[in-house]
Amino acid sequence: MTTLLSMTRRNIKLFFHDKGLFFTSLITPLILLVLYVSFLGNVYKDSIMAFFPEGITVSERIVDSVAVGQLISSILSVSCVTVAFCSNMLMVQDKVTGAALDIAVTPVKRAYLSLSYYIATYVSTSIICITATLVCLAYANAMNSYIGFREAVLLLSDVLILAMLGTAVSSIINFFLSSQGQISAVGSMVSSTYGFVSGAYMPISQFSPVLQKIISLLPGTYGTSLMRNHAIASTLDVMEAEGIPTEIVEAIRDGFDLNIYFFGNRVGVGGMYAVLLLTVLLLIVIYVVINCTCKKVRK
């Protein structure tokens, strides 16, 4: 255990010593926030207004609050995975610098070594994503959103869970990489596709039925939906309290992926937690097993 802690400490120190890597990882979600606010704020508001038939009025604060919820849940769900890919470079860096060979000639257990990379990446990813979440919550507060303390805490816990998922996925993929170029290429691919396949850039309900079924097989989808629930549900409660018909509120839940369906069956929030946590556990086991199986490094 002391060996695991020592290796984890080494990996975390190496990450934070690379100021460029840390700030680049941190600035990515903040840039996303600025871009979303600048370019998609009105699009989101229009898409919300489309749910209200003529004759039904809704306050501007409610519309803004739903838009803010959609916006920050999109940014954070994508960031947890993309930031994990940015942060999870040490495993490959160690291969490039020769440190991996230096470690391979020691009797350290491969399981400890792989877990030390995982934990270090998780810690750095979480620190960056929690910082981004706090900025997003400050923005939501400034926009007079209905996101309260409870929702804020739930969103922070979602970020921690999704960071686990992002770290696990990136750890498995990066295990097979051996150069900085490969890592950059994979990072770019993930950044450009993950937002779509997890329903962060566009609600899944707008995809074709076949695509919806495929996307429902991916665990990241449930992470986005979980965040949508925690970022928007309180506003929907206010809507219902203000007398907006339940059918409209329910349509918004479906339209913005607060309700998510697995082959026609609605998955509740508890189910989303279960999918995410079980997937994380499974991926960590796979990651440790491949580390222990492919134990010889080639120079």
Q: For binding to other proteins (CB under 8 A), which residues are involved?
A: 2-3, 6-7, 9-10, 13-14, 17-18, 97-99, 101-108, 296-299
3-state DSSP assignment of residue 145? coil
The distance of closest approach from Cβ of residue 200 to other proteins in the complex, given in angstroms and rounded to an integer, is 34
Considering beta carbons, is residue 178 or 212 the nearer one to other proteins?
Answer: 178
The distance of closest approach from Cβ of residue 13 to other proteins in the complex, given in angstroms and rounded to an integer, is 6
DSSP 179: S
3-state DSSP assignment of residue 265? strand
The distance of closest approach from Cβ of residue 117 to other proteins in the complex, given in angstroms and rounded to an integer, is 13
Q: Are the beta carbons of 137 and 151 closer than 8 angstroms? A: no
Considering beta carbons, is residue 51 or 117 the nearer one to other proteins?
Answer: 117
The distance of closest approach from Cβ of residue 37 to other proteins in the complex, given in angstroms and rounded to an integer, is 36
The distance of closest approach from Cβ of residue 93 to other proteins in the complex, given in angstroms and rounded to an integer, is 9
What number of CA atoms fall less than 13 Å from residue 116's CA on the CB side? 24
Considering beta carbons, is residue 107 or 270 the nearer one to other proteins?
Answer: 107
Considering beta carbons, is residue 58 or 108 the nearer one to other proteins?
Answer: 108
Q: Cα separation of 221 and 211, whole Å? A: 12
Alpha helices in the chain (DSSP H): 2-17, 19-35, 41-49, 60-87, 90-97, 99-104, 110-142, 149-175, 180-197, 209-215, 219-241, 246-255, 269-293
Considering beta carbons, is residue 18 or 250 the nearer one to other proteins?
Answer: 18
